[in-house]
Chains A and B, each alone.
Chain A
Amino acid sequence: AQRVTQPEKLLSVFKGAPVELKCNYSYSGSPELFWYVQYSRQRLQLLLRHISRESIKGFTADLNKGETSFHLKKPFAQEEDSAMYYCALTRGAGNTGKLIFGQGTTLQVKP
């Protein structure tokens, strides 16, 4: 079964502290992994995807196939990073574009 697990509902850090939002997945094939973000009163939007290997707004995520993880990291959190973060996957083969989301983690960055 395809599943995405985000073990933390809430992660609270101080500004300037490192951040790691955890994501583990269960999928037998070769999925594509994404992080979507929803800022307060805004729509869900793509933050980054593993195949592009980019750093967006200082965030990075590395796909670890051995540990089936795709943790989101940022070395120094900013207050504007406060948002809801969703890890998601799509199938590799036979992809219809369907995203499977994790439960989401609320990141709260305190001043």
Chain B
Amino acid sequence: DVKVTQSSRYLVKRTGEKVFLECVQDMDHENMFWYRQDPGLGLRLIYFSYDVKMKEKGDIPEGYSVSREKKERFSLILESASTNQTSMYLCASSAASNQPQHFGDGTRLSIL
């Protein structure tokens, strides 16, 4: 069965810290995505990647960066965490636009 694995289910960090969220997929998918999910706002795209070392900004990239050194791994980096980045973060992958996305279980991040 296909699998997208996010390294942490729950994470608590302090303001100003550099935070790494890791995502690994085992489906050899070209496309990978990072979203944040907040009540009433649905899913908002932070960054996506359509190939190794390629990345594109989504709707809300400010305060975030990403890294994709290997096809299966897509990392989200909070350069200097702030309290307004407290949220649920979801990673997803897909083979193509006519194929559904596969999601990880999410990381609930709290910035104190």
Whether A and B are associated in the same complex: the answer reads no
Task: Please report A residues at the B interface, Cβ cutoff 8 Å.
Answer: none
